[in-house]
Structure 1
Amino acid sequence: MQIPFNACDCHMHIYDDRYQSVNNPALNTANASLAEYQQQFQPLGFRRHILVLPSTYQDNNQIILDALACHRHQARGVAVLDGRVSRHQLVQLSAQGITGLRYNLVRSAPEVLQHMAANAGLLAEFGWHINLHLTPKHYAEAAPLLESLPCEVVLDHFGRVDFSGWQSSRYVAAIRKKLRSGLWWIKLSGLYLGQPASTADINAFAHCLLDEREDRLLWGSDWPHPTSRTPINERDNLAPLFDWAATPQQLAQVLVNNPQQLYFR
């Protein structure tokens, strides 16, 4: 199978030390420009991408807003806003290509859950989504709140599921239920973030998700792979998707149709 026309990478970052970042960021990442990204991914067949603000910049979204100003026709962004957001903020950011807010429960302060709950109704009104980076532990601590969010929710990096025990996991059962509801999405990305697992277990979980709701799955490269301890070959990073998608139509669903519906509508 080949990458379909208009394929979209739904999770990538850029870094530039000209933009203000937090003091002592958790991840010290070298500069990684959009031009460098395109040099690697356009030959693979990707024409669209979603810029996700990394935690390095806290809530300084200027780095992705500047990139979107130059590449709006082929990109959208996921921003970070601390605290309660206003209608005026969402109007301005929507006009600049932002379609969702990211809440990184892995690296955020405890009050982020309160902010997320307070903002969810307005995000739903604007057609925005909440992009969540969390682990099973974070989900267990806040399940009632997370399951009651009125807006669409996108889970980063397979929801950080433990692939080796997914079949008996209450967390996975909850994810599958929310996928069936149509409000939740999940990104097939960041395999290196999870606990070591067999290829068979990973493939079985991915096939389960595709059988559940192939129209709620997205793929992301996580370029430039800020949490990977070893260099990542982009073709190797993409290769598992060709094992998971059974047909060209299913591949196009994940790489073209689903991103179109969520980010480019």
Structure 2
Amino acid sequence: MTTTLSRPVSGPFEKTPGWLDWYDGPAKPAFVLPAGAVDAHCHVFGPGAEFPYAPERKYTPCDAGKADLFALRDRLGFTRNVVVQATCHGADNAAMVDACLSSGGRARGVATVRRSVSDAELERLHAAGVRGVRFNFVRRLVDFTPKDELMEIAGRIARLGWHVVIYFEAADLEGLWDFFTALPTTVVVDHMGRPDVTKPVDGPEFGLFLRFMRENPNVWSKVSCPERLSVTGPKALGGERAPYRDVVPFAARVVAEFPDRVLWGTDWPHPNLKDHMPDDGLLVDFIPAIAPTAALQRKLLVENPMRLYWPEEAV
């Protein structure tokens, strides 16, 4: 049985040609999430008529607003969300903040801010539920921001107890190492730094990422987005339900070695996917393949995100 979410409503923008609409009939996962589970990486897009997309955006998505995000949350069995600012909205965090404020305390946010942001605005974001900022180093998605500006922002948000989320590609880690290790906050890496899963899990490229985490105890990682990393694709093999099997060794390695510093999220509504749009129910069924015990699953989905985003409620 599937549940159909509402379809995106056309706004004043035409979406980028080739953009895949999010999948509106997610399967009910076979894996039952632990009580209090957090989807620690998801987005909202608009709706554009209410929350216009940034003029400098690199893409125009379909609308995917808070009502559909919360419907997906309930369908999959999550309790809470962490809404990460989408690059198509630039530094206008209004859609993300609105989702947090409308969640009844069940959503926290990760913002994008510029050097010009005022202390009053940072305080307003904090009151709305923002607990981090995102620095994006994927050049096809954003224009380069000078590192001195980013470091200044990191120093200011550290005083609020926020963290920095970094998004980069595996080949760029070595060149960014010194900057990342100088950040004065907890640092959360999106999607394991996008490893090339055709290379060995014990090879030098992924080994550099593992060393980055070992040598820097303030670094966490999201073990999410297998649909972005996989070469074999979503089809489960050998009668197993878990998809994206070629990503499993990488994510499982991170979970096993750093169980107290990992997070997981759907990445709904899956920005910039060109080949296929994942079934979010099947993505949830990826979790027990990378976190095979109840203790690891609870750390990944409940204890770690609560400690980072709702520390006042963490056990």
TM-score over 0.5 for the alignment?
A: yes
Going from structure 1 to structure 2, the CA distance change for 1:167 and 1:35 (only over 3 Å counts) comes to same
Report the more deviating stretch, 95-104 or 205-214. 205-214
- Alignment of 1:227 with 2:257, yes or no, is no
Partner of 1:188: 223
What RMSD over aligned residues (CA atoms) do the two structures have, in Å?
A: 2.1
170-179 vs 100-109, which moves further: 170-179
Q: Secondary structure at the match of 1:126?
A: coil
Shift of 1:157: 1.7
Instruction: State yes or no: 1:134 paired with 2:168.
Output: yes
Asked if 1:213 corresponds to 2:261, the answer is: no
Q: What is the CA–CA distance in structure 2 between the aligned matches of 1:167 and 1:124, rounded to whole Å? A: 34
**In the alignment, residue 155 of structure 2 is paired with which amino acid?**
G
Confirm whether residue 257 of structure 1 aligns to residue 289 of structure 2: no
Residues 3-12 or 187-196, more deviating: 187-196
Identify the match of residue 151 of structure 1 among 182, 185, 188. Answer: 185
Are 1:180 and 1:213, in contact at CA under 8 Å, matched by a contact in 2? Answer: no
Q: Quick one: distance in 2 between partners of 1:195 and 1:233?
A: 15
Q: Deviations 1:181-232 (Å, cap 9, x if unpaired)?
A: 4311111212222362695652222221122111111001010112223222
CA–CA separation in structure 2 for the residues paired with 1:10 and 1:158: 14
Report the alpha carbon displacement of residue 175 of structure 1 after superposing the two structures with TM. Answer: 4.0
The amino acid that maps onto 1:242 is P
Over 3 Å counting, the alpha-carbon distance change for 1:115 and 1:43 in structure 2 is: same
- The corresponding residue for 1:80 is 112
Residue in structure 1 matched with residue 41 of structure 2 by the alignment:
11
Question: Which blocks of at least 5 consecutive residues in structure 2 are unaligned?
Answer: 1-30, 234-243
Aligned residues: 265
Question: What does residue 66 of structure 1 align with?
Answer: 98
The equivalent of 1:240 in structure 2 is 286
Q: Which has the larger radius of gyration?
A: 2
SS in 2 for 1:49: strand
Structure 1 position 123 matched with structure 2 position 168? no
**Runs of at least 4 residues of structure 1 off by over 4 A?**
197-201
Kept in 1, the 8 Å contact 2:38–2:79? The answer is yes
Offset of 1:121 from its aligned partner?
2.4
1:160 paired with 2:194, answer: yes
Deviations 1:76-98 (A, max 9, x none): 00000022555433222111100
User: Residues 98, 202 of structure 1: CA spacing in aligned structure 2 closer, same or farther, 3 A cutoff?
Assistant: same
Contact in 2 for aligned 1:6/1:47 (Cα 8 Å): yes
User: For 1:56, what is the secondary structure of its paired residue?
Assistant: helix
Structure 2 letter corresponding to 1:2: V
Instruction: Select between 101-110 and 17-26 the one with higher mean Cα deviation.
Output: 17-26
User: Secondary structure of the residue that 1:42 maps to in structure 2?
Assistant: helix
SS of match in other structure, 2:286: helix
2:237 counterpart of 1:202: no
Match of 2:142 among 91, 95, 108: 108
> In 2, Cα distance between the equivalents of 1:196 and 1:143?
27
* CA distance in structure 2 between the partners assigned to 1:85 and 1:61 by the alignment: 12
Q: TM-score scaled by structure 1?
A: 0.91
SS at match of 1:122: helix
